[in-house]
A and B are shown apart, each in its own frame.
Chain A
Amino acid sequence: MRHASDHELLRVDNVRKSFRTPESGVVTPLDGITLSIRNNEFLTLLGPSGCGKTTLLKTIAGFEDLDEGEIYLDGRPMSGVPAHRRPFNTVFQNYALFPHMTVAGNVGYGLQVAGVPRAEEATRVADVLRLVGLSGLERRKPAQLSGGQQQRVALARALVNRPRVLLLDESLSALDRKLRQSMQIELKNLQHTVGITFIFVTHDQEEALTMSDRIAVMDKGRILQLGTPAEIYDQPASRFVAGFIGTSNIFTGTLTQDNGAARVQVAGGPAIAVTAGGFTAGEQVDVMLRPEHFALVPGGNAASGSIVAVIENIVFVGTDLHLHGRLGNGMPVMALERHARAAGGLNLKAGQTVTLHYQATSPHLMKSGAA
């Protein structure tokens, strides 16, 4: 079993890329990206549509020239190396399957151009098609496949070459839940057994959290935060990052300190007891509380370390109840309650007033107004 090592495999160094567009002039999907990717790591790029994820993958693969900066593989600059000589394979967002070739032809293409003997090609193609669950469709043309099947062909076509780095652009998005989970497991297995390094783009935060060694959250051509899934989830650098992963309650207020007790005074709202590491009194801050940080008690009993809310809506999602409520000043708040506990005597109803308790260590402070 291999694990992401500390050895740096790929280095994206202050990369900048702009495009001229017909309507507005210039877009800058890569605005000074620096990223160090370790050998055998599973790195996920997460960000809103149009933030530059695909463009970053394309520059790494060698399809876009850089305006500025450099990409290094094992310390070797890649700018003079054409795409076909880079030991990377891409699973394109639009699949880009060759329409005039069969499934087997598509998957075997990389091996054929590399001059791999026919017999070996046949076994490797058969193996990888079995892996993605497409055995028996070898002779189909791409147009005769469903979207999910096409996506798996694209995946197989890249995997079969056993590249150093596999660039995946939303490559599981067209699969149903069950298939997607089994492909996620297969990819993680490959990461460990074959030792492929993955750079993975997804819009599915659950996928990002479960698959990744590290996550890079991007916006407008910049990396806002790079860290392990737990770091991103527990200590987001900004309101934007927090909003991108998981559900959160974020309040803006002024940090106050009195007698060592730090609070965030929300304008027209509650004061939230916090631990003020790294921030100074008087500063404008965003404070984040995850729904699962709250312990719910019926009745409105505001005290330090709690807020009072009125339940507006209860959504049953299986193991949990999602409680949507409002604070006294009308701000929305969301809390989580185990279904088992709620059913066992809490008897929650819409319109009920409840107190939400939290640990003073739970609220996470972020610079207000930070990107």
Chain B
Amino acid sequence: MTSQRRRAVVLLLAPITLLLGAFFLIPLGIMVVYSLLEPGLYGGVVWSFYPYSYGRVFGWPLGGGEEFEPLYIQIILNSVYYAVITVIVSLIVCYPVAFWVSRMGPVAKNLVLFAITLPFFANLLVRIYAWLLLLRPTGAINTALMSLGLIDAPLNMIFTEFAVIVGLVYVLIPFMFLPIYASVERLDWSLVQASQDLGATPFQTFRRVILPLTAPGIAGGAVIVFIPALGNFIVPAFLGGSKVQMTGNVIERQFLQSRNWPFGSTLAMIVMASVLVLILLYALWMRRAGKSQPVGEVGHA
């Protein structure tokens, strides 16, 4: 690029960059700062350095009502666990379905893709409330199972881990499906034939050709399901009742009920930091996978 063109590009990109910067970085900066400020007595903050919010999570509390509480780490780990299960379940559902859909005729294919994006048109709260109606003891599922005589008493589904995971999977599954579907659709079927032609069994073909070539879709889907699952608070609030807590709920309560903004910010920062570390690990892993074969010089042997 000539320097003139580069200048033009900078000029063109400047407004959008500033806008994005304003909308993403400033709130983030506020969170960072708040997490290190002293909570005001009746909400708000007092402008003095105060590392004890972190202390409450990791073990150097100020004392006097602000105690070290291992429960917070426990809840964060629990949230990671729910997020991981959500990723695994949606992966197991989406991967085979993606292959099935990719082999459909064009009309059926578009219909399915439309159906998968359809839930986005309805309000999230309404959709989750629908699950509440489905899962509760007098709900549709229990009623159906009992009238079929499969069970005697209603199953206890609502306000359990199970309900939360069902809800998370339900909300996030499109985000798993779309990247996987894209990578499956892009998969060159002649490579599968080449593998068979060279004598590979169906399992060998899957493990050595299909899986590696669709791995980017799997990884992409996993990341964009994991992150919102980890921070989700609506699903556990509706379907988890008081039994299932996720960090999202705790953070929400700090902001809206306890009005301890610094502590809410602290928890949010911790969750964000762990996500960033995970993504970093993922990126490093991808780079290593891509680099495991050195590029070598291009030229004739």
- A158, B294: Cα distance in complex, Å: 25
Q: Which chain B residues lie closer than 8 Å to A89 at the CB level?
A: 197-198
B257 at the interface (CB under 8 A from A): no
Q: Which of B199, B204, B209 contacts A98 (CB 8 A)?
A: B209
Contact B195 A144 (CB under 8 A): no
Contact A96 B193 (CB under 8 A): yes
Q: Could you give, for residues 199-213 of chain B, a 1 whenever the CB lies within 8 Å of some chain A CB and a 0 otherwise?
A: 111101100110011
Please classify the interface of chain B as helix (H, G, I), strand (E, B), loop, or mixed, using the class held by over half of its residues: helix
Known: A99-B213, A100-B213, A113-B204. A157 touches B198 (CB 8 A): yes
Q: Which of A62, A83, A92, A109 contacts B190 (CB 8 A)?
A: A92
Q: What bracket does the count of chain A residues touching chain B fall in?
A: 20 to 34
Q: What number of B residues sit within 8 Å (CB to CB) of A? A: 25
Contact B293 A84 (CB under 8 A): no
- A94, B189: Cα distance in complex, Å: 12
Contact B195 A109 (CB under 8 A): yes
A347-366: which residues lie under 8 A (CB-CB) from chain B?
none
CB B210 to nearest CB in A, in angstroms, measures: 11
- A157, B200: Cα distance in complex, Å: 13
Please classify the interface of chain A as helix (H, G, I), strand (E, B), loop, or mixed, using the class held by over half of its residues: loop
Taking CB as reference atom, which chain A residue is nearest B212? A100
Contact B196 A82 (CB under 8 A): yes
- A137, B193: Cα distance in complex, Å: 25
- A161, B199: Cα distance in complex, Å: 9
B191 at the interface (CB under 8 A from A): yes
Q: Which chain A residues lie closer than 8 Å to B190 at the CB level?
A: 92, 94, 96
Q: Which chain B residues lie closer than 8 Å to A197 at the CB level?
A: none
Known: A96-B193, A98-B191, A99-B213. A144 touches B295 (CB 8 A): yes
Contact A139 B293 (CB under 8 A): yes
A134 at the interface (CB under 8 A from B): yes
Q: Could you give, for residues 80-92 of chain B, a 1 whenever the CB lies within 8 Å of some chain A CB and a 0 otherwise?
A: 0000000000000
CB A170 to nearest CB in B, in angstroms, measures: 14
Contact B197 A134 (CB under 8 A): no
- A137, B298: Cα distance in complex, Å: 10
A216-266: which residues lie under 8 A (CB-CB) from chain B?
none
Q: Which chain A residues lie closer than 8 Å to B294 at the CB level?
A: 139
Q: Which chain B residues lie closer than 8 Å to A61 at the CB level?
A: 193, 197
Q: Which chain A residues lie closer than 8 Å to B11 at the CB level?
A: none
- A158, B188: Cα distance in complex, Å: 19
- A90, B190: Cα distance in complex, Å: 11
Contact A110 B212 (CB under 8 A): no
- A172, B190: Cα distance in complex, Å: 19
Closest 6 CB pairs of A and B: A110-B198, A96-B194, A136-B301, A113-B200, A83-B196, A96-B190
B interface residue numbers (CB < 8 A to A): 188, 190-191, 193-202, 204-205, 208-209, 212-213, 293-296, 298, 301
22 contacts between A and B (CB under 8 A): A61-B193, A63-B196, A63-B197, A84-B199, A84-B205, A88-B197, A90-B194, A90-B197, A92-B190, A92-B193, A96-B190, A96-B191, A96-B194, A109-B195, A113-B198, A113-B204, A134-B301, A136-B301, A137-B301, A140-B296, A158-B198, A161-B199
